[in-house]
Structure 1
Amino acid sequence: MALTKTNLISALLASSVLTLAGGAVAQDKILRIGMTAADIPRTLGQPDQGFEGNRFTGMTIYDSLSAWDLSKEDEASVVIPSLATSWAVDAADTTKWVFTLRDDVTFHDGSPFNAEAVVWNVQKVLDESAPHFDPSQVGVTASRMPTLRSARAIDEFTVELTTSEPDSFLPINLTNLFMASPAHWQAKFEETGDAESAWAAFAADPSGSGPFRVTAFAPRERLELAPNTNYWNPERTPKLDGVVLVPLPEANARTAALLSGQVDWIEAPAPDAIPQIESRGFTIYANPQPHVWPWQLSFADDSPWLDKRVRHAANLCFDREELSILLGGFMGIPKGTVDPTHPWWGNPSFDIRYDLDEAQRLMSEAGFSADNRLTVKVQTSASGSGQMQPIPMNEYLQQSLRNCYFDVELDVIEWNTVFTNWRRGAKDESANGAHAINVSFATMDPFFAMVRFTSTGAFPPVSNNWGHFGNDEFDALIAEARTTFEDDARDAALARLHARIVEEAPFVWVAHDAGPRAMSSRVTGVVQPKSWFIDIAPMDMN
């Protein structure tokens, strides 16, 4: 019999069970996950593949100084201590923060976690003179904490972090800086002789302090994880015997793998297959998430989106309720980047809704008609982290916007390439002439939700202001929020920023993700929080 792709995946998964369980039968508690990513997210400490990378190779293998509380399904996730037990900004100099560290943590290789390890991990992405500096990790890290500049050990378990300007967002941003073992990297460096080779060797055999450790790794095929039985946090010490991650970027292939028993968990199941999945005894988990699925618009000199009437028209031209039906009900209807119940809402004057007559009126006023149509090109992916169902969703928009005199051309490329292009910007040749880019994003913290898309200091390659949107007004609003360290006052400043973002409409807001994932009934201990992330560590299997 020919070895088809399906047979190959089945063989690899069967092999993974045997490898992890030492020859035990399939009833051992090996959790097999079908990801939307086309490849295993990087394992060297700073994952790629968007936040799917953080979820599967960041928060499993590694820890960060601060972390998201993912233990509740009925409350918004908040930042809590992790490797740091506490932190405080220096009242005399608000560019300096002091973090107190846990004193009972070791990396997977047995070396200790301490202040020097934090300094080393900051240097790996910020200090070009450091011998372990890794340019390949900068893009997925520095853009997520753009004001962090340096770290200094005060004593063994106290570290001072310095920012380029006062930044009240820093403890939130640090959830994205994962702590890798300096001693383990040094051993790889001594074996290989150069930093680039040492990082490649480290990625194949990584060492963090997280609840799982890597036991086998085959790029584009699988990643095998075993429990870290010496994990410092008893609430997250794994009960599973192991985890296997498999890239399955196509929704129907993921669904088939779940229904045939090849995997126990899939992200973003095909919406039309959900009734069959549920009828077969699988569980669908979903929860409204702080997560936006948009088109991010270009403000380059020749962009058709420079006219605000056109931007507003696109936001009014399609029926999100109808799109929700297409997605099996697994989406939220956006009124902006955050919803009207959020403290950052701000009551903007522009109401995002379905209003075809108003959309056509705005387009006519801007000079477009059925006989004089506007062509826009949108770069998107076929799958990927948080991308929900990008092809049918974009095709729905393509069809709907025809009613408002738009002709939409889709440029569909691989997810990680789209994500890389996102950091290069609309003016870069990687945009391939696109006037918008479709990259979904989490909105849990103000930097990720708003600042990186509206600050003139976040133009590529610094951060994700792909469209080059922003001006002095937005920079002033951002500065007000960033330099406000009292929570309620900062929320009020962020509400003013959000209201202006919605009114100026640098996005076409399409959906809030509900994060549907389908799992075998064998999987227990699942908490689907109101977050883009989910914690595998406390899960178990019958």
Structure 2
Amino acid sequence: MRTAGTEGKGKGSPVALASSSSGGTPRVGGTLVVGEYQEPTVYDPNHQYSWETYRVDRHIYESLVGEDLSKPSSEGPPPLIPALAESWQVSDDATTFTFKLRHGVKFHDGTPFDAQAVAFNVRRFHDKSFEYYDVKANAFMKAVYGDLKSFDVVDDYTVRYVFNRPFRDFPRMLPQGNYVSGIFSPEALKTWGQDGLAEHAAGTGPFRLVTRVHGEKTELARNEQYWGPSPYVDKIVFRPITDDSTRLAALQAGEIDILTRTPADAVQPLSSGGYAVPESTGADLLYLGWNFKNKFVQDVRVRQAIIQSIDREGLAKTLFKGHAMAAYSILNPGNTAYDPAQKDFAFDPDAARLLLSAAGFKDGDISFTIATDEANQPFIEWIQRDLAKVGITVKILSQEWLTYTSNLPHLSDDIALASMEWGFVTPLWLRIVYQGYVVARGGKDLLGPELAAAIDVASVEADEAKAIPLWKSANGLLQKQAGVVPLLTFTRYFATSAKVRGFNAPAQNWYDLSRVWLTT
């Protein structure tokens, strides 16, 4: 039995707990404004998706386990730390996880956090006999809890999860930004219902939800009863500003303090103008997933040729001005199994043409659509030009984020590829990609049983030292089959005004704003 976690941080003065790297004595007060590049989805831990949503609601809801987001990206994936659990034990076979819960914690609605509250949360998406079981929540959480054998309340402040097979990555999955295990108040769900919880979010986090105006803003206020260090700022306002130039202008005009997804053209001017544009390589990755129902995609030679036709280095250096890294593996640089030497196919248009000819296709024979959200349309246009050079005709279907993502489960046969920005620090990410972008899109048989078996073996290996090479081996098989199209990773994702202090961009897809403060 392995034990992890400590008593964790306690309640304290925000000034006394300041980091020496924050740039002076922190100032308490003020309103921090964040410019998001997408409209968030919903503030319900078991219904939400997208990083811009989780960047908001991770400050409202907390999981049993957290991540130390104060670590710079150069130090690799953020270490796991206690959150609503003070400590946890993992059985030697990595099937049983026992959590000792934190005492004295209250939800934002004043109700107590305890083992029964955790049980209510788990039963919502796992126990079909439960009065408040929710089919939608079950679908969202299945990737993490689909193999859960049992959940038990050991005592008022101890809970135990037992899985059918080893699940070494379970603690790491708890604070992740999809399949969110944030704990909500049972009373809030009872009062507002399954769909009403998002508008009346009640967690235990350092900030509480004040208001959400769709398309305009989300406002959070400091949780004065927070169990941990009190946040520095009084309020955080998240503003969705989907147009890059408008979002940049808002930062330069002082209307926002933190900008998400910094336009590549703006990095140098901002840096020279007194703004901070921290260099970091997180778990984020831009990539394309196949729609295996498309007749052209079903031929591995076509998939390989398409990858060989895309100048990823040129994309990173030209369109993204060198503020991105070309990606040749779905295991992103922030992933514990990332290996820069493990690459799929080099840029080689001549070899691509030979493959297409061997598959029986002439110039103009292959024509399909690539679907994307509006933010990623520019790089799809780059790919459109690259593929035209080898005789492939591409149409682009571009939609705003919420419309685009709602249509992803229902891709028409003429769509061959769809863009996505995602990534995890755990190599379990490879299984998520396989299930979500291969199996769910009709590619399991096309990519063969060897890949499926390799992913299954890696998934249940309890020893991390043994698991990493297994994941690399499975990744090699995915690459050989051209099972996904990695494109690039951003290296300058956030920008902050000169008055922002304590902001850190970790090797993760989100941040901790409770430790951020503003100068006058």
State the TM bucket, normalised to the shorter chain: 0.7 to 0.9
* Mapping of residues 357-506 of structure 1, within 5 Å: 357-370=350-363, 372-383=364-375, 390-422=376-408, 424=409, 428=410, 430-431=411-412, 433-447=414-428, 449-455=429-435, 459-460=439-440, 468=444, 470-506=447-483
Report the Cα offset of residue 233 of structure 1.
2.5
Tell me how large the CA RMSD over aligned residues is. 2.7
Report the Cα offset of residue 162 of structure 1.
2.9
- Asked whether the equivalents of residues 272 and 328 of structure 1 are also in contact (C-alpha less than 8 Å), the reply is yes
CA distance in structure 2 between the partners assigned to 1:84 and 1:458 by the alignment: 35
AA at the equivalent of 1:489:
K
CA distance in structure 1 between the partners assigned to 2:302 and 2:261 by the alignment: 32
Q: Hey, what does 1:312 align to over in structure 2?
A: 304
- Helix, strand or coil at the partner of 1:439: strand
Which shifted more, 279-288 or 311-320? 279-288
Report the Cα offset of residue 525 of structure 1.
0.2
CA distance in structure 2 between the partners assigned to 1:252 and 1:290 by the alignment: 25
Report the Cα offset of residue 455 of structure 1.
4.5
AA at the equivalent of 1:367:
G
* Mapping of residues 87-486 of structure 1, within 5 Å: 87-91=88-92, 95-148=95-148, 150-175=150-175, 176-186=180-190, 188=191, 195-196=193-194, 199-200=195-196, 202-234=197-229, 237-300=230-293, 302-324=294-316, 325-338=318-331, 344-345=337-338, 351-370=344-363, 372-383=364-375, 390-422=376-408, 424=409, 428=410, 430-431=411-412, 433-447=414-428, 449-455=429-435, 459-460=439-440, 468=444, 470-486=447-463
Change (3 A) 1:146 1:378: farther
AA at the equivalent of 1:134:
D
- Helix, strand or coil at the partner of 1:404: coil
AA at the equivalent of 1:402:
A
Aligned-pair identity in percent equals 26
CA distance in structure 2 between the partners assigned to 1:321 and 1:395 by the alignment: 15
AA at the equivalent of 2:244:
A
Report the Cα offset of residue 498 of structure 1.
1.3
AA at the equivalent of 1:76:
G
- Asked whether the equivalents of residues 297 and 507 of structure 1 are also in contact (C-alpha less than 8 Å), the reply is yes
CA-to-aligned-CA distance 1:166-187 (integer Å, 9 cap, x gap)? 322222222231100113333x
AA at the equivalent of 1:54:
Y
CA distance in structure 1 between the partners assigned to 2:235 and 2:163 by the alignment: 39
- Asked whether the equivalents of residues 376 and 408 of structure 1 are also in contact (C-alpha less than 8 Å), the reply is yes
Q: Hey, what does 2:66 align to over in structure 1?
A: 67
Q: Hey, what does 1:541 align to over in structure 2?
A: 518
- Helix, strand or coil at the partner of 1:435: strand
- Helix, strand or coil at the partner of 1:299: coil
CA distance in structure 1 between the partners assigned to 2:503 and 2:104 by the alignment: 28
AA at the equivalent of 2:129:
S
- Asked whether the equivalents of residues 348 and 500 of structure 1 are also in contact (C-alpha less than 8 Å), the reply is no
Q: Hey, what does 2:35 align to over in structure 1?
A: 34
- Helix, strand or coil at the partner of 1:104: coil
CA-to-aligned-CA distance 1:70-97 (integer Å, 9 cap, x gap)? 1111211233332223333445x75432
Report the Cα offset of residue 108 of structure 1.
1.5
CA distance in structure 1 between the partners assigned to 2:420 and 2:336 by the alignment: 24
Q: Which runs of 5+ in 1 are unaligned?
A: 1-26, 190-194, 384-389
Which shifted more, 274-283 or 482-491? 274-283
- Helix, strand or coil at the partner of 2:42: coil
Report the Cα offset of residue 332 of structure 1.
1.2
CA distance in structure 2 between the partners assigned to 1:274 and 1:140 by the alignment: 36
CA distance in structure 2 between the partners assigned to 1:270 and 1:347 by the alignment: 26
TM-score between the two structures when normalised by the length of structure 1: 0.82
CA-to-aligned-CA distance 1:82-126 (integer Å, 9 cap, x gap)? 2223333445x7543222222232211222211111111112222
Change (3 A) 1:48 1:366: same
Which shifted more, 142-151 or 59-68? 142-151
AA at the equivalent of 2:300:
K
- Asked whether the equivalents of residues 76 and 334 of structure 2 are also in contact (C-alpha less than 8 Å), the reply is no
- Helix, strand or coil at the partner of 1:285: coil
- Asked whether the equivalents of residues 377 and 433 of structure 1 are also in contact (C-alpha less than 8 Å), the reply is yes
Q: Hey, what does 1:16 align to over in structure 2?
A: none
- Helix, strand or coil at the partner of 2:297: helix
Report the Cα offset of residue 61 of structure 1.
0.2
CA distance in structure 1 between the partners assigned to 2:245 and 2:436 by the alignment: 41
CA-to-aligned-CA distance 1:425-457 (integer Å, 9 cap, x gap)? xxx4x446311111121131223x210232499
- Asked whether the equivalents of residues 379 and 431 of structure 1 are also in contact (C-alpha less than 8 Å), the reply is no
Change (3 A) 1:341 1:50: closer
CA-to-aligned-CA distance 1:387-409 (integer Å, 9 cap, x gap)? xxx11110001011111221111
- Asked whether the equivalents of residues 287 and 419 of structure 2 are also in contact (C-alpha less than 8 Å), the reply is yes
Q: Which runs of 5+ in 2 are unaligned?
A: 1-27
Change (3 A) 1:134 1:320: same
Report the Cα offset of residue 28 of structure 1.
5.6
- Helix, strand or coil at the partner of 1:113: coil
TM-score between the two structures when normalised by the length of structure 2: 0.86
CA distance in structure 1 between the partners assigned to 2:139 and 2:412 by the alignment: 17
Which shifted more, 434-443 or 41-50? 41-50
Report the Cα offset of residue 149 of structure 1.
5.3
AA at the equivalent of 1:453:
V
Report the Cα offset of residue 356 of structure 1.
2.2
Report the Cα offset of residue 144 of structure 1.
4.7
CA distance in structure 1 between the partners assigned to 2:289 and 2:90 by the alignment: 34
CA distance in structure 2 between the partners assigned to 1:113 and 1:399 by the alignment: 55
CA-to-aligned-CA distance 1:493-542 (integer Å, 9 cap, x gap)? 11211111111111121112325122111110011111112111111110
Change (3 A) 1:46 1:271: same
CA-to-aligned-CA distance 1:323-351 (integer Å, 9 cap, x gap)? 12211222112121226897635798864
